[in-house]
Amino acid sequence: MTLLAPVPSPVLELRELRHCWPGAAHCALSVDALRLQPGQRLLLRGSSGSGKSTLLSIAAGVLMPSSGHVLLQGQDWRGLAPGQRDALRARSIGYIFQQFNLLPYLSALDNVLLPCRFSSERAQAAGDPAQEARRLLAALDLATPLWTRPARQLSVGQQQRVAAARALIGSPALVMADEPTSSLDEARRDAFMQLLLAQCEAAGSSLLFVTHDERLSRHFDQMLVLDAPGAKEAGA
């Protein structure tokens, strides 16, 4: 008898998802099915107003959809109290914001350590959080003298690396990136993508990456293209 290896549960799963803003003629978002397995990479593309930011907010449990189900590591956001959602989000999601959202008065190193202060699980997974923060900053090619510099004194490219390290510390199950390369030229974009993908792979984190740049699709296992008011899914 041949024993089959168990199929891992998806990190993120969307089922019959619909979201309609009050008074709108059409639903802003419609996704029949999406499954993101551990370690997989999903590219989310779409024009402005197609629902990319709405989908990210729903996937992160910040916004509840009009109908359908969104499960993170098997837990339906609808079934959790607000405090439970906050705890699950802090534990399981690393988020790279488009504008990075670093605390300007904190050093690069202290910004990276923030998730470990909000989640004991992330801190435990990091082992020695300060040492892991330094390792990530070095792996993401941020020069050592910049680690103690306040975030407001860093360039856009430097802030981007700090934001990526902050998202990755503690090996979250899911890293979500909201157009973090939109302000970069082609060479810096490609360099950052290589660094980010390598660190996600090392951490075993799944990646949900939002962009309008179709050229990045070669880096991803799946692609979801949003075209308001609907969506279609394509495997890479």
Helix (H) or strand (E) holding 31: strand 29-36
Contacts of 86 (CB under 8 A, 6+ apart): none
Residue 226 CA to residue 66 CA, distance in Å, equals 17
Token duo for residue 113 = 């350590």
What's residue 228's pLDDT?
56
CA distances to 87, 97, 135 from 132, rounded to whole Å, are 22, 21, 5
What's residue 182's pLDDT?
79
Residue 77 CA to residue 43 CA, distance in Å, equals 22
What's residue 50's pLDDT?
83
What's residue 6's pLDDT?
59
What topology does CATH give the domain 17-235?
Rossmann fold (3.40.50)
Residue by residue, pLDDT tens for the chain (236 residues) are 555 555 678 999 999 999 998 887 788 888 999 999 999 999 999 887 788 888 999 999 999 999 999 999 999 999 999 999 999 999 999 999 988 999 999 999 999 999 999 999 999 999 999 999 999 999 998 999 999 999 999 999 899 999 999 999 999 999 999 988 877 788 888 888 998 999 999 999 999 999 888 889 999 989 999 875 544 444 43
Q: Where are the domains of the chain?
A: 17-235
